[in-house]
Structure 1
Amino acid sequence: MKIIRIQKALIGLGFKPGPLDGIWGRQTIAAVRAFQTKMGLEPDGIVGPLTLAALFPDQPAEFGLEQADIVWFKEARRLLGTRENPGAGSNPDILDWATDVDVMYKSDDIPWCGLFVGHCIASTLDREALPTNVLGARAWARFGIKTQPTPGAVMVFWRKSLQSGLGHVGFYAGEDTEAYRILGGNQSDSVSLAWVSKDRFVAARWPVTVAAPVPNSVTVGRTDSLSWNEA
């Protein structure tokens, strides 16, 4: 479900989610909490199955990559195409992500896949704790709770070798028999979709402030080659 549909529904019911911009920000979260309180639901600011049913009584349940509650994944999708600046200077949007999550970050020459995930989580889930080392991709293996690979899950991989301590992190956006399709930052120096070998998989994690998912896989046809170096 598109976020703008939720915003329009809230406005129609007398709530104030802020601009009709399709962005899951603090005003929209506050409006969802106000709606949930009025309806006698847990005011968690998440459009889970009960809230979705209250907002859209005739809307069938949604699964996979379109489900309403994976708002951090929707933010990641919105940012597809964001690129680091080549040569001198940095993309100010990427630097702003660091400011927003209170991370010291001077240049987009520094790997920013963890920063991208941190931005998507922090900007859409205002009660979710981030790892201490947001920039460290492998630190995300301790984020939230353990899950199986499933739409929207935070997916952690090793880079160069399992023992190197280096890694990559992004969001589950599908799979085939040998690789996961990952929506992430710093993939070919941009926010993009890339295929990462299942042999490199370290962990799948899920936010603690969102109801644990019933894991399900999404099979996607692959035409691109595997990604091997995301720095």
Structure 2
Amino acid sequence: MVVTEIQRALIARGYDLGPGGADGDAGPKTIAAVTAFQRAAGLVADGIAGPLTQAALQKVDVTERRNPVERPGWLVLAEAELGVKEGAGAANNPRVVKLFADAGFPGIKQDSVAWCAAAVGAMLARAGFKPSGSLAARSYEAWGVGIKEPVLGCIATKRRGNSSWQGHVFFVVGANKDTVFGLGGNQSDAWTIAAFKRSEITSFRWPAGLPLCADAKLPTTIAGAKAGVSEA
């Protein structure tokens, strides 16, 4: 199946692909819909429409009950960036530099500029949401709406050092009473999952008007998440 055929099959099952519909662009809304369909069909929910997913989509019966999207589109996109790091020495990784452009700052061409807010802003923009419009990490303290407890994919901000304005911003992928696990950029100069002290968190934010993801329980620990990562 080509992309437009996959999209038509998803639309026939009631999945919302946005105003573009079956436009042939496998963007974040299509990825999120594929992931939700896979969960409903009992398949591996990886957002990739492989042979098993295509076979399930081609079934005549389109009456299966679909589940709400459990992983927000911006988080699916961010997960695909894991491992991407700054260029060595004076080199600039174009994949990191593009984050600035997608977040609304095309004039920045060096990946040595702190890019955690650019990483969050780019993922939001690619998923169809408006970023904070700033490269200051703690600008996200005023973005969207505040939530008392973290949920999967929400944006978290934290203090950095003793400054009243310096900070860091990332997507939440796990939490317990002492620690918040964040998927973010510029964490030791790369996209990683890191562990942060919950006492350092200044806010949890969610897009205004968007329902929270259904039944997306946060893991309380994540193997391999490192504490003490550099955020500068």
Q: TM-score with structure 1 length normalisation?
A: 0.71
Contact 1:159 1:229 (C-alpha < 8 Å) held by counterparts: no
Residues 203 and 8 of structure 1: CA distance in aligned 2, closer, same or farther (over 3 Å): farther
Contact 1:146 1:205 (C-alpha < 8 Å) held by counterparts: yes
Q: What is the CA distance between 1:56 and its match in structure 2?
A: 7.1
Find 1:24's aligned residue among 18, 24, 28: 28
Q: Which residue of 2 aligns with 1:91?
A: 93
Residues 228 and 193 of structure 1: CA distance in aligned 2, closer, same or farther (over 3 Å): closer
Residues 189 and 56 of structure 1: CA distance in aligned 2, closer, same or farther (over 3 Å): farther
Contact 1:176 1:222 (C-alpha < 8 Å) held by counterparts: no
Residues 221 and 84 of structure 1: CA distance in aligned 2, closer, same or farther (over 3 Å): closer
Matched, 1:110 2:116: no
Q: Distance in 2 between matches of 1:95 and 1:209?
A: 30
Q: Distance in 1 between matches of 2:228 and 2:5?
A: 39
Contact 2:194 2:229 (C-alpha < 8 Å) held by counterparts: no
Q: Which structure 2 residue ranges, 5 or more long, are not aligned?
A: 13-20, 35-61
Contact 1:183 1:191 (C-alpha < 8 Å) held by counterparts: yes
Q: What is the CA distance between 1:211 and its match in structure 2?
A: 2.2
Q: Which residue of 1 aligns with 2:144?
A: 144
Q: What is the CA distance between 1:116 and its match in structure 2?
A: 0.3
Q: Which residue of 1 aligns with 2:231?
A: 230
- The letter for the 2-side match of 1:24 is P
Q: Distance in 2 between matches of 1:224 and 1:76?
A: 16
Q: Which residue of 1 aligns with 2:179?
A: 179
Matches within 5 A, 1:72-221: 72-103=74-105, 104-125=107-128, 128-133=129-134, 135-147=135-147, 148-161=149-162, 163-212=163-212, 216-221=217-222
The 3-state SS of whatever aligns with 1:186 is coil
The 3-state SS of whatever aligns with 1:202 is strand
Contact 1:141 1:205 (C-alpha < 8 Å) held by counterparts: yes
Contact 2:114 2:186 (C-alpha < 8 Å) held by counterparts: yes
Contact 1:186 1:230 (C-alpha < 8 Å) held by counterparts: yes
Percent of pairs with identical residues? 26
Q: Distance in 2 between matches of 1:169 and 1:180?
A: 12
Q: Distance in 2 between matches of 1:175 and 1:213?
A: 16
Q: What is the CA distance between 1:172 and its match in structure 2?
A: 0.5
- The letter for the 2-side match of 1:88 is A
Matched, 1:10 2:7: yes
Q: Which residue of 1 aligns with 2:16?
A: none
- The letter for the 2-side match of 1:173 is V
Q: Which residue of 2 aligns with 1:57?
A: 64
Contact 2:170 2:182 (C-alpha < 8 Å) held by counterparts: yes
The 3-state SS of whatever aligns with 1:168 is strand
- The letter for the 2-side match of 1:227 is G
Per-residue CA shift, 1:77-131, capped at 9, x if unaligned? 0111111102112111222222233213231111100000000000112xx3322
The 3-state SS of whatever aligns with 2:141 is helix
Q: Distance in 2 between matches of 1:19 and 1:144?
A: 27
- The letter for the 2-side match of 1:78 is A
The 3-state SS of whatever aligns with 1:118 is helix
Q: Which structure 1 residue ranges, 5 or more long, are not aligned?
A: 1-5, 33-54
Residues 85 and 149 of structure 1: CA distance in aligned 2, closer, same or farther (over 3 Å): same
Per-residue CA shift, 1:164-198, capped at 9, x if unaligned? 31111000000233211100001121111110111
Count of aligned pairs between the two proteins: 190
The 3-state SS of whatever aligns with 2:153 is coil
Residues 61 and 93 of structure 1: CA distance in aligned 2, closer, same or farther (over 3 Å): closer
- The letter for the 1-side match of 2:8 is I
Q: TM-score with structure 2 length normalisation?
A: 0.70
